[in-house]
Structure 1
Amino acid sequence: MMWNHKSVRSFSGALAFLLASASIAESPMNPQDAEVYPMARDSLLLDVTDTGNGLIAVGVRGHILRSQDGERWEQIVAPVNRLLTAVSFADEKQGWAVGHDASILHTTDGGASWELQHFDPDGLGPLLDVYFENAQRGYAIGAFGTFLGTTDGGKTWTAVDAPAVADAAVHLYAITRAPSGRYLMVGEMGSIFATDEEGQWVQLDSPYDGSFYDVQALGEKGVLAVGMRGNAYVTNELGVADWRRIESDTLLGLTSITPVSSKRMLITGLNRSMWVLDAPGRMTQIRVYDPESSNTGSLNAAVVRDGQVYLAGDRGIHVMPLPAEDLASVSQQ
């Protein structure tokens, strides 16, 4: 089973419990600029992505962190102080971040500055993921079946006409696009959606009735989905009911999927743990931050750049080496 190695949006998903995690005092009505915090690099971060010219991470209180070398990080003042859950770049310059109160932010300079495109504290719930296939067309998804789309780079956002998604009325956690051009989306209650050959959204049969938190295309037709209680499922052909459960030997929630090569994936999860999944379907745990504790936060997203793995978690940015010769031998930092 060969896996496609492509540009990754990186958070490929947000945990359900994060819907309630923003117990921070936030202005209920009007957007306010995020405050600059000296320890922002060590605060709760939910997503990190490689823009092609640096790294961008987003998280609590509207924190946006930017680094061009992976070592020195600066906080960029965001036009909202809401929890930001996901970030996606269409190219080195054009990027979008989403979060609570249906906040959608846009940058045209690689993340050096951001403007607010969408904000709805009285209407839509939290947005939990965003994906742009190019600088014009993208989607933002979130709680209570929120599904927004744009074809003009975010100047206007409208509800996507997708009856199958609307009828399901579930929280939507992750969206991505396969090399074939088909979109994939997962959510609570085992929900799996995809676009068909005509571009219409359909709901697929699911092998699991718990929440899926991230989804990743495998080659042209395959799919990997991960979620609650260590559940990971793979199929060699989207739309065919041949899902196979991958034995993970864990009950920890799995939060994100990051391709490393055509044959390997990194999977992050609760307890600040991480696994490697190889092409034959073997899932091996390679990192536990606090093995003696059963409740020590989470790793929420990962990105691989220049031989390093950059992890976004409840304690900010973590960095670990990625030996090219044997991913499974990654040692604890």
Structure 2
Amino acid sequence: MIYPKISSLSKRLRNPNVYFLFACVGIFCSTLAYAQGDALNETSVISARAEHSLIMDISKTETKLIAVGERGHIVIQQSGQKKWSQVQVPVRVTLTSTFFIDDQNGWAVGHDGVVLSTTDGGQQWQKLLDGDTVNKMMIGYAEQLVENILNEIAVANEEEIDELNERLENFQYFVDDSYAFGDEGASRPFLDVWFNNKNEGFIVGAYGLILRTTDAGKSWTPWTEKLNNMDGFHLNAINQIGDDLYIAAEAGTLFHSTDKGQTWNSLESPYEGSFFGIVGHQDQTLIAFGLRGNAFISHNKGNQWLKIETGVDSSLYGGHKLNAEHFVLVGASGVILHINNQGEVIKSETSKFKLPLSSVVFNDATNGKDSTLVISGLAGIQSISQENKG
């Protein structure tokens, strides 16, 4: 059955003893945050300490870094400058991820089903979607799936009928849960966003949410049936590696697409714990990472995996490819792991405040001096100098 596990899933994820770090610091979504007041319709508050608050994700373009975080905070740092400047946003919910297709066009997603877009490099943002609209969309989608199956059953032969009845039962659970989420209100967060160009993209989130757009986010199509995710596991991250797309999800779930998300296949997982991200290089090297220091490397697009001996038991939440031979992972307790393309930890360090980290990007030197890792998390944004080698 598709969604009998949703109720138990909800209870499990709202139990503070599960994913204890999330319950404490709000990284990702295991303790789902509900909007306080009218946070979906109130603008973010400009704060002198926005860059020092919880920052969930950082994107890099040719001329700037753009970071998003709690209370709708979005801050921007222009290339060659140290100062971060906050811009106003039409919501004040926590923003979890951002993605820019070029220097001007970008998107951000977050709690309560929020999707924002910008066409001027992040100076101005528009709300495209929120959880109330998502709930209505998913109810209509679930009901349409049931109607489609009933039409198939009406003309099915005896060999087909058992399988179709099983699918019908699954989709009826889907309808029930879609209505239940609607009764809860705008509660389900989006966790990541990826675009192929200015128009085509995906957003992924809690309880198996995945939506596709072909018009820059003006309209969205549920893509749930395209994934083999009958238990509604959280879709934590989506990333393009080479020409392919990958989704890292809850309960050891990994998905792979070779056609920019039109179709998806499940990858055989190397463990049963949650994956929070996946990074890699176009030569087929992948690194998937998640709970309690677990990380795995593949040299054949996820067909086989080897465990990386990370030497830590802190959960890993963010990752970045520095170059073809060097990857960086960050996570709880401020851990920062440098890993080569053979899956060996070549350097392990801890951030200044030893607080959870959620994202990392490499900021190339523009003045011939040392470059920096820019990391974000519970203590805001920090920069760590990296020695240039060649």
**TM-score in terms of structure 2 length:** 0.74
User: Residue 162 of structure 1 contacts residue 201 of structure 1 at CA under 8 Å; is this kept in 2?
Assistant: no
Q: Which residue of 1 aligns with 2:173?
A: none
* Structure 2 residue matching 1:71: 3-state secondary structure: coil
1:80 matched to 2:91: yes
Q: Which residue of 1 aligns with 2:15?
A: none
**For residues 125 and 301 of structure 2, what CA distance do their matches in structure 1 show?**
37
1:146 matched to 2:209: yes
Bigger relative contact order, structure 1 or 2, given CA contacts below 8 A and separation 6+? 1
User: Residue 327 of structure 2 contacts residue 340 of structure 2 at CA under 8 Å; is this kept in 1?
Assistant: yes
Give, as a single letter, the amino acid of the residue that structure 1 aligns with 2:192: D
**For residues 284 and 255 of structure 1, what CA distance do their matches in structure 2 show?**
19
Q: Which residue of 1 aligns with 2:296?
A: 233
1:271 matched to 2:333: yes
Give, as a single letter, the amino acid of the residue that structure 2 aligns with 1:62: G
User: Residue 248 of structure 1 contacts residue 284 of structure 1 at CA under 8 Å; is this kept in 2?
Assistant: no
Q: Which residue of 2 aligns with 1:68?
A: 78
* Structure 2 residue matching 1:18: 3-state secondary structure: coil
Matching residue within 23, 48, 59 for 1:49: 59
User: Residue 26 of structure 1 contacts residue 81 of structure 1 at CA under 8 Å; is this kept in 2?
Assistant: no
Task: Give, in angstroms, the shift of residue 322 of structure 1.
Answer: 1.3
Q: Which residue of 2 aligns with 1:318?
A: 382
**For residues 273 and 30 of structure 1, what CA distance do their matches in structure 2 show?**
33
Q: Which residue of 1 aligns with 2:104?
A: 93
Matching residue within 188, 193, 196 for 2:250: 188
User: Residue 331 of structure 2 contacts residue 357 of structure 2 at CA under 8 Å; is this kept in 1?
Assistant: yes
Deviation per CA, 1:48-78: give whole Å up to 9, x if none.
1112210100000000001103511111111
1:35 matched to 2:35: no
Q: Which residue of 1 aligns with 2:129?
A: 118
Deviation per CA, 1:20-52: give whole Å up to 9, x if none.
567686235742111111111110000011122
Matching residue within 355, 360, 369 for 1:302: 360
Give, as a single letter, the amino acid of the residue that structure 1 aligns with 2:240: R
**TM-score in terms of structure 1 length:** 0.86
Give, as a single letter, the amino acid of the residue that structure 2 aligns with 1:254: L
Name whichever structure is richer in helix by fraction. Answer: 2
1:137 matched to 2:148: no
Which is further off, 120-129 or 193-202?
Answer: 193-202
Give, as a single letter, the amino acid of the residue that structure 2 aligns with 1:299: L
User: Residue 286 of structure 2 contacts residue 302 of structure 2 at CA under 8 Å; is this kept in 1?
Assistant: no
User: Residue 87 of structure 1 contacts residue 95 of structure 1 at CA under 8 Å; is this kept in 2?
Assistant: yes
Structure 2 residues without counterparts, runs of 5 or longer: 1-20, 133-184, 366-370
Task: Give, in angstroms, the shift of residue 196 of structure 1.
Answer: 4.4
Task: Give, in angstroms, the shift of residue 17 of structure 1.
Answer: 5.1
Alpha-carbon spacing, 1:254–1:18, altered in 2? closer, same or farther (3 Å): same
Deviation per CA, 1:250-279: give whole Å up to 9, x if none.
100011111111110111111111010012
Which is further off, 87-96 or 300-309?
Answer: 300-309
Which is further off, 92-101 or 299-308?
Answer: 299-308
CA RMSD of aligned residues (A): 2.3
User: Residue 202 of structure 2 contacts residue 211 of structure 2 at CA under 8 Å; is this kept in 1?
Assistant: yes
Q: Max radius of gyration: which structure?
A: 2
Give, as a single letter, the amino acid of the residue that structure 2 aligns with 1:185: I
Q: How does 1:161-310 map to 2 (within 5 A)?
A: 161-180=224-243, 182-196=244-258, 199-240=262-303, 242-289=304-351, 296-305=354-363, 306=365, 307-310=371-374
Q: Which residue of 2 aligns with 1:331?
A: none
Q: Percent identity at matched positions?
A: 29
User: Residue 218 of structure 1 contacts residue 224 of structure 1 at CA under 8 Å; is this kept in 2?
Assistant: no
Structure 1 residues without counterparts, runs of 5 or longer: 1-13, 327-333
Alpha-carbon spacing, 1:38–1:239, altered in 2? closer, same or farther (3 Å): closer
Task: Give, in angstroms, the shift of residue 92 of structure 1.
Answer: 0.4
Deviation per CA, 1:178-236: give whole Å up to 9, x if none.
222x2100111000001146941111110110010110133243321000011111111
Q: Which residue of 2 aligns with 1:103?
A: 114
Alpha-carbon spacing, 1:289–1:309, altered in 2? closer, same or farther (3 Å): closer
Deviation per CA, 1:271-315: give whole Å up to 9, x if none.
111010012321144321369xxxx53111111112111111111
Name whichever structure is richer in strand by fraction. Answer: 1
**For residues 86 and 165 of structure 1, what CA distance do their matches in structure 2 show?**
24
Give, as a single letter, the amino acid of the residue that structure 2 aligns with 1:135: K
User: Residue 43 of structure 1 contacts residue 315 of structure 1 at CA under 8 Å; is this kept in 2?
Assistant: yes
* Structure 1 residue matching 2:211: 3-state secondary structure: strand
Task: Give, in angstroms, the shift of residue 18 of structure 1.
Answer: 3.1
**For residues 384 and 376 of structure 2, what CA distance do their matches in structure 1 show?**
12
* Structure 1 residue matching 2:292: 3-state secondary structure: helix
